[in-house]
Structure 1
């Protein structure tokens, strides 16, 4: 017959009717399983109950997890928050499928099950965390050694170790601290571009959102938002006005720089507005290019070659939207001494950034 052991020190057997461990003093009367048996008359427990059976009736074995659910529930709550930031693309997009939100719900449900302590709570938690680890490994299949994927897998492992066996006080609280730290690290890695191993086939893409101006720009892997000062050497970000504002970005390591400009000026024409933006960026008003513009710029677009005084070469694309907004996307590549190579690199960078642009 299974015997109840102390969830704190492991002492067994515990005498019938005891409300605390005779060895260490750990109280039992707060447990749901104790309260359930405490409401049952002892003469109805049946003749088959062994004399060594405990206050829990002899058919329930206590667990340090059910006795102390707080630490593991805290780790599961932090894990749910980290998965929500990832699934919702709040800090950076890994382009995960929509079912990733299910992992958020899974962690919250497991935390609730452990706290309420109904049914095989510990077994359910173990099963759920194994499922989460398998899902995490599947999501990381393109770059399994990437820091962000390793961090999320480690988060699941920490939670799993807290529901295996009979964790003592040291393991519970070390696990809680480690779990919170890994959850924070996982979230931070989402916001850091280039955290995947080279050639991994995937990556973190930083997301720039301008709610007032109605743009959403998901940058290529390795690109990040840049300040005016970081951008100024190769590309001049115009000063914001009452009608227009912009954001700078780039991949400094590869010498790629860009900006997105959105302006609401009543009555502005596409040609005049785009040429004015081109001049403010230091480009010359040459004939428009004939290659296609990013689809997000709409049906009325113009493209110009953009060559800065610092030697960077690239493209400025403009679009006039139905609501009158003028949108300009400029991307240049620096560091190439050859004109044709610089033009090709600038055009490729412009196309890559343009794929991540969406306008509302």
Structure 2
């Protein structure tokens, strides 16, 4: 190859030096020297021979390499999206926004890990691939350790599947199908994992799964024992009547239907009523009569002035009601009853439920 005075390259015949060689020629027009055996001809084919070869894709990278060549991805977005969704799902779990699994405080580290790995992939510098793979494997191991007591619980299985999907996204260079299918499945798994935290886990008693009931407007948070979950008015009947909500307050029902234990929490904003009058009205709404106070201590959240009374509902269930007025004037009542067929009042269940009550 030689260059003309204008800087344009021209090809020469390797045998006789004839120039220029016509585009697409398979032999020299002057001496007949064939070009088919030349590697340059095989590579170029029918490309113009009077133009220099350039790299076909200067900007393309592969999800491979080493510490020198940088293990980065040509399409880091979908994998980063799955890792970011995973971090969000772990935040919902660690913070107990929908339900608490009683995880240790270091679970927040998995939130940070997912967010950092997503950032590493987006920056696409250094050994991004290796860092992402190691980080996701650590997350999977942590997920397995947290699920050791109930590995087949749906919520634990969902979080493990989320980790596996994240790992699939950072191994090799995903093609278009794996990128977009993995992104869709990853986002779905993240939503499902967080959503399962809000559901009562039937049949996994002892797995440490706890559901939290939160009322932001009325300022309460009730963390239920394992196996307990929120119940509707219809599910409570006929054992317990959930009063209709008013402009001043409202309630939420819960229980463990398998153990025939039912309860409700009632919070009413300050109406100027005395504690005795407010508690009497709550008893009447429940269909019971206010009896003598018990020596059983009230839940700590209700304060030392709260009282505890026995309750027998029209449906035949027996249990306990704690009632008190807070310093801000709110009337709070907590009820736990047991069906008569299950043995009547269960003070241990009442104490356990009351320990999970927090009022802001």
Measured against the shorter chain, the TM-score band is 0.7 to 0.9
1:294 is matched with 299
Q: Equivalents in 2 of 1:239, 1:136: separation in Å?
A: 42
1:352 is matched with: 352
Is 1:333–1:342's contact at 8 Å kept on the other side of the alignment?
yes
Structure 2 vs 1, CA of residues 105 and 240 (structure 1 numbering), >3 Å: closer, same or farther? Answer: same
1:174 aligns with 2:181: yes
CA distance in 1, matches of 2:191, 2:90: 11
**Which of 62, 73, 89 matches 1:66?**
73
CA deviations on 1:273-319 (whole Å, 9 max, x unpaired) are 22221122111232111121111110102111111111111111112
Q: CA deviation at 1:330?
A: 1.0
Cα pair distance change 1:268/1:76, threshold 3 Å: same
The change in CA–CA distance for 1:266 and 1:176 in structure 2 (over 3 A counts) is closer
SS of the aligned residue for 1:300 comes to: coil
Aligned to 1:202: 208
C-alpha distance in 2 between matches for 1:199 and 1:256? 14
Deviation string, structure 1 residues 41-63 (Cα, Å, up to 9, x no partner): xxxxxxxxxxxxxxx9xx627x6
Larger radius of gyration: 2
Measured on the aligned residues, the alpha-carbon RMSD in Å equals 2.8
Q: State the partner residue of 1:342.
A: 344
State yes or no: 1:319 paired with 2:332: no
Is this contact kept in 2: 1:286–1:304, CA < 8 A? yes
- 2: CA distance between counterparts of 1:185 and 1:245? 29
SS state of the match for residue 233, structure 1? coil
Contact residue 274 and residue 302 of structure 1 kept, 8 A: no
What SS does the aligned partner of 1:238 have? coil
Task: Check 1:162–1:263 CA distance in 2 against 1; reply closer, same or farther (3 A cut).
Answer: closer
Aligned-pair CA distance for 1:124? 0.8
5 Å matches for 1:230-241?
230-241=235-246
1:285 aligns with 2:290: yes
1:309 matches 2:314: yes
What secondary structure sits across from 1:67 in the alignment? coil
- Structure 1: distance between partners of 2:356 and 2:53: 67
User: Would you say 1:120 and 2:131 are equivalent positions?
Assistant: no
2:59 to 5, 29, 48: 29
Which residue matches 1:245?
A: 250
Aligned-pair CA distance for 1:28: 4.2
Q: What is the distance in 2 between the residues matched to 1:32 and 1:181? A: 27
Secondary structure of the residue aligned to 2:266 is: strand
1:213 to 218, 224, 232: 218
Distance in 1 (CA, whole Å) between partners of 2:271 and 2:179 is 63
User: 1:144 and 2:146 equivalent?
Assistant: no
The offset of 1:30, in angstroms, is 5.2
Q: How many residues align?
A: 309
- Residue 68 of structure 1 and its aligned partner are, at CA, apart by 2.0
Structure 1 residue 216, shift from structure 2 partner: 1.1
Give secondary structure in 2 for the equivalent of 1:206: strand
Contact persistence 2:87–2:115 (CA under 8 A): yes
Residue 120 (structure 1) shift: 0.7
Partner Cα distance (2:181, 2:83) in 1: 15
Partner of 2:233: 228
Q: Distance in 1 between matches of 2:145 and 2:108?
A: 15
Aligned partner of residue 341 in structure 2, secondary structure: coil
Q: Which runs of 5+ in 2 are unaligned?
A: 1-42, 45-51
1:32–1:117: 8 Å Cα contact kept in structure 2? no
Contact 1:19/1:29 (8 A) holds in 2? no
